[in-house]
């Protein structure tokens, strides 16, 4: 341990730490973005189980751009965000006419279709996926993009778009009669979510070196949903925290890795039953502190 206190010792330790844990640390940012991508749709009452598929489309697109064209990393990421957005637009227009539950299920199915298509295309490497993706992601890319995502979503929340989302989430019919173009706004949320998931996918691919269709299956969509629901969907902080905590949790519970899926499932059920607004619920937290100060004042 005394080695740590010398500069060289510290650098050695850091190198060791980084090479083991860099994917986890990158994962914090990427998962936060993924949780935010599903938060956008949940914020207007839409459950999109297609975000893992959008992440996959973004990952494959960005990787192929990096590997097969000479375009720089930002371009690859941009295209990796744009293509899922476009796909979301195309499948969204007919399906977003459906209401609530129909829609969630249609997005679930869409994810399946994407998976099947990707499994069968040559350009994506089929079931084996892509290998040898250049390691281009740096920590500051992730911080920058996460910050940008949070900023954009925060601005949207405060604007007429955010209000429209909230109104749609509460009561679609009333919102429609207030002049809100419900289908249009749902489509917007869907497309924004897809873009964020796509960029997250692109970032992720460029530090994991290899990707395959198994990374973007239904189980992954469920994980993303768990992160958002666990963190709480009333504010932006919730999904961000949810994504980060649920990235660290499997590391802390390394021994229970085989039961990771059970943990995800349990979290979903328990949170929905007992903590429906997730762990980060400003109202509950405020109420808790109010009770404490009242109790303190009475002493």
Partner 1 sequence: MLQLKNISKNFGGLQVLQDVNFDVPQGGIFGLIGPNGAGKTTVFNLITGLLRASGGAIEFDGANIGKVAPHKITERGIARTFQNIRVFKEMTLLENVVVGMHDHMHYGFGSLLFNLGSFRKIEAQARERALELLSWVRLDHKAEMLADSLSYGEQRKLEFARALATKPKLLLLDEPVAGMNPAEKTELMTEILNIKQRGFSIFMIEHDMRFVMGLCDRIAVLNFGRIIAEGSPGQIKNNPEVIEAYLGKEDAE
Partner 2 sequence: MLEQQLINALSLGSVYALFALGFTLVFGVLGVINLSHGAIFMLGSYAALLLVEHLALPLWLAMLAAMLASGLIGLLVDYLVLKPLRARNAPHLAPMIATIGVATILTSLAQGLFGAENKRFPVGTIPEDSYNWGHLHVTAVQIGIVVISFILMLVLLAVMRRTQLGRALRAIAESPKAAYLLGINVEGLFYLTSFAAAALGGAAGVLVGLSFNAITPFMGQPMLHKGIAVIILGGMGDIRGAMIAGLFLGFAEVLTVAYISSDFRDAVGFGLLFLILLVKPSGMFGKVLERKA
Q: Residues in the site for partner 2, rule: CB under 8 A?
A: 42, 45, 47, 91, 94-95, 97-102, 104-106, 108-110, 112-113, 116-117, 119-120, 218-219, 222, 225-226, 229, 258-259, 261-262, 264-269, 272-273, 276
Mark the segment that binds partner 1 (CB under 8 A) among 11-19, 78-86, 149-157, 217-225.
Answer: 149-157
What letter does residue 98 receive in the DSSP assignment?
S
CB of 171 to partner 1, least distance (A): 5
Q: What, of partner 1, partner 2, none, does residue 272 touch, CB below 5 to 8 Å by kind?
A: partner 2
205, 133 contact by CB (below 8 A) = yes
**What does the per-residue mask of binding to partner 1 show for 8-47, with x meaning CB under 8 A?**
----------------------------------------
What lies within 8 Å, CB to CB, of 56 at 6+ separation is: 114, 115, 118, 201, 211, 213, 215, 216
Pick 27 or 45: Cβ nearer partner 2: 45
197, 51 contact by CB (below 8 A) = yes
What letter does residue 278 receive in the DSSP assignment?
-
3-state secondary structure of 72: coil
Instruction: Please pick, from the candidates 3, 100, 155, 272, the single residue that binds partner 1 as defined by CB under 8 A.
Output: 155
Pick 59 or 224: Cβ nearer partner 2: 224
Cα–Cα distance measured from residue 268 to residue 45, given in angstroms and rounded to the nearest whole number: 17
83, 58 contact by CB (below 8 A) = yes
Instruction: Find where tokens 């979903």 sit.
Output: 268
Pick 158 or 254: Cβ nearer partner 1: 158
């Amino acid at each position: 341990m005394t080695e740590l206190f010398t500069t060289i010792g510290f650098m050695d330790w850091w190198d060791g730490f980084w090479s083991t844990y860099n994917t986890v640390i990158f994962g914090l940012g990427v998962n936060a973005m993924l949780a935010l991508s599903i938060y956008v749709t949940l914020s207007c009452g839409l459950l999109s189980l297609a975000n893992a598929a959008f992440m996959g489309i973004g990952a494959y697109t960005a990787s192929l751009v990096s590997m097969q064209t000479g375009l720089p990393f930002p371009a690859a990421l941009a295209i990796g965000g744009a293509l899922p957005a476009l796909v979301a637009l195309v499948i969204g227009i007919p399906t977003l006419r459906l209401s609530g539950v129909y829609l969630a299920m249609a997005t679930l199915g869409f994810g399946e279709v994407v998976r099947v298509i990707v499994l069968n295309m040559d350009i994506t490497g089929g079931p084996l996926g892509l290998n040898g993706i250049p390691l281009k992601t740096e920590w500051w890319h992730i911080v920058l993009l996460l910050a940008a995502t949070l900023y954009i979503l925060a601005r949207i929340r405060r604007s007429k778009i955010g209000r429209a989302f909230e109104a749609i989430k509460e009561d679609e019919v009333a919102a429609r009669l207030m002049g809100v173009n419900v289908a249009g706004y749902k489509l917007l949320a869907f497309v924004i979510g897809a873009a964020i998931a796509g960029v997250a996918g692109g970032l992720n691919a460029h530090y994991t070196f290899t990707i395959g269709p198994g990374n973007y299956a239904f189980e992954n969509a469920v994980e993303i949903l768990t992160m958002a629901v666990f963190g709480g969907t009333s504010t932006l902080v919730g999904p961000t925290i949810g994504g980060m905590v649920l990235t660290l949790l499997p590391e802390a519970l390394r021994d229970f890795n085989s039961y990771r899926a059970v943990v995800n499932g349990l979290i979903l059920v328990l949170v929905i039953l007992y903590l429906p607004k997730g762990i980060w619920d400003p109202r509950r937290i405020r109420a808790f502190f109010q009770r404490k100060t009242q109790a303190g004042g009475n002493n």
